[in-house]
Amino acid sequence: MRVGWIGLGKLGAPMARHLAAKHAVLAVDRDPGRLREVPGAEPSDLAGAASCGVVITSLPDDAALRAVALGPDGLLARMAKGSVFVETSTVSPEASAAVRAQAEAHGVLCLAAPVSGSTATAEAAALTLFCSGPDAALERARPLLQTFARTIHPVGQGEEARFLKLAINHFVGSTAQVAAEALTLARKGGVAWETILAVLGASVAASPLVAYKLDPLRRRDFSPAFSVAQMLKDMSLGVAAGQATGVAMPVAALVRDLYAAQAEAGLADLDFFAALLAAERQADLDEP
């Protein structure tokens, strides 16, 4: 199957590589150098991608999605009636709904399919997808999505996948801030760093997320699997979604503000668990 792929960022590139190993992929990115990261794909442009029966996008934010998909010269206006558009990013329900409306106006089946996972799970083809949209769109896209996703959750016909992804990211983003405070308190009380992490990993507080982060924390490696800046964006989307739907989000608003302060403090490009560094600095703690 010929598949159009737009967006070759930290997650998009490994996802596209897995797809290109089994299907003909026409790849587009505003940075031509990124195309080298998907050697099995054919470099293309928006018109070429739009000619495919299925087009998948992996874009950084609402603005990028709107710029690529909407308008008289956008992707959706170029796609054939009956083709399938799949969007895998974390974007607002409002932007997603606008894209869905234009897709329907052009007879294009639109599937919201935000991914959950890290760069490591993307490389391992082990991502989780939350999918909402027409059943026919998911059934057409499923064999393609399974090349890079281990688990696919169908959750509705509209924007349900967007709300679920924001809810999960609220858990994930808030966990890092709680961990930063808790681990800093233990260090300030004189507990050795290795002991703190060993106990955490064996405690009721352990989770798949905590287990995944224990080794980087031991090595004090804050290379970005998902950056502070990215988590700030997602927490901001969650707060806005709460405001739009009448859901009080005081914890999400606090967590968003913490990430904003940490980004301004020079941590924006580090992994979101670098919240720990901010907490340690405030507590006047040196590196363990």
pLDDT at residue 222, as a whole number = 98
250 Cβ neighbours under 8 A, 6+ residues apart: none
pLDDT at 126: 96
Count CB atoms within 10 A of the CB of residue 157.
11
Measured torsion, CA atoms of residues 249, 251, 252, 256, in degrees rounded to the nearest 10: 130
CA 107 from centroid of its chain's CA atoms? 27
Q: How far apart are CA 98 and CA 67, in angstroms?
A: 12
On whether residue 112 sits in a domain, the answer given is: yes
Cα separations in angstroms, 56 against 121, 144, 205, 207: 19, 9, 37, 31
Q: Which residues pair with 156 in a beta bridge?
A: 132
Q: What is the CATH number of the domain that holds 278?
A: 1.10.1040.10
In a domain, 44, yes or no: yes
Same domain, 6 and 141: yes
Residue 99 domain flag: yes
Regarding whether 135 and 86 lie in a shared domain, the answer is: yes
Domain termination site, one of 158, 185, 213: 158
pLDDT of 213 over the 90 cut: yes
pLDDT for res 1: 81
Q: pLDDT at residue 281 above 90?
A: yes
Q: Report the relative pairing of strands 24-28 and 84-87 from DSSP bridges.
A: unpaired
pLDDT tens per residue across span 175-185 = 999 999 999 99
**Element housing 49 (H / E):** helix 46-50
- 189 in the same domain as 143: no
In a domain? residue 287? no
Asked if residue 204 and residue 153 are part of one domain, the reply reads no
pTM of the model: 0.94
Name the residue range of residue 260's domain.
163-282
* 43 part of a folded domain: yes
Q: Could you tell me if residue 177 is inside a domain?
A: yes
- Check whether residue 13 and residue 87 sit in a common domain: yes
Quick one: pLDDT at residue 118? 87
pLDDT digits (tens, 9 = 90+) for 134-193: 999 999 999 999 999 999 999 999 999 999 999 999 999 999 999 999 999 999 999 999
Pair (147, 172) in one structural domain = no
**Residue at a domain's end among 158, 185, 207:** 158
Average pLDDT, the chain: 96
CATH of residue 80's domain is: 3.40.50.720
Q: Answer yes or no: do 106 and 241 share one domain.
A: no
Q: Does residue 274 carry a pLDDT above 90? A: yes
Same domain, 198 and 58: no
State pLDDT tens for residues 64-93. Answer: 999 999 999 999 999 999 999 999 999 999
**Number of domains within the chain:** 2
Same domain for 181 and 63: no
What dihedral do alpha carbons 41, 42, 47, 53 form, nearest 10°? -50
Q: Are residues 185 and 145 in the same domain?
A: no
In a domain, 288, yes or no: no
Instruction: Clarify whether residues 168 and 268 are in a common domain.
Output: yes
Last residue of a domain, one of 158, 175, 210: 158
**Taking 90 as the threshold, does the pLDDT of residue 52 lie above it?**
yes
Q: Would you say residue 125 lies in a domain?
A: yes
pLDDT for residue 188: 98
Give the residue-averaged pLDDT of 271-286.
Answer: 98
178 and 147 together in one domain: no
